[in-house]
Amino acid sequence: MPPKATVTGPMKTMLETQLPVLATVSGPATPNIGPKRSLRVYDDHTLIYNENTGGRHLENIEAGSRVAVAVIDREALDGYRFLGHAEVATDGPAWDNCLEFAAANGMKEPKRAVLIHLDTIFSLESGAKAGTVITDETPGSSE
């Protein structure tokens, strides 16, 4: 089994301090992007967010769309792109995590918990590293 894409300390910090943007796809090729202020690290290989609107992103994910998350620190000219596949939950540990997050942050109860299981993480750092793979769990891939 190949190594999993792993969220590092600097990635966690950036996700905690900058606004992540989620991308999904509708139909064969229509992109949909939007900010996700509740998006955060769930564990070293998974991101999570509270799906509060139940709109296009949720429809796309439930239809099987792969997902991408970008987070950028404009001042530092640095960032990351996370690619993965999503799982929707309405019970269990992920749901409990979202309920606790909502309560702690003055949010309404979410419609769903969305886990993003990471496949590949890319650097968005300005310069020679831009677009390079940092971690990848795709079979047959290498860093």
Model pLDDT, residue 135: 72
Q: Which spans in the chain are helix H? A: 9-17, 56-62, 92-104
Give the C-alpha separation, 81 to 59, whole Å.
22
pTM listed for this prediction:
0.89
| Domains in the chain: ranges and CATH | 9-136 (2.30.110.10)
Model pLDDT, residue 1: 45
Q: What is the percent of the chain where pLDDT is above 90? A: 78
DSSP state of 76: T
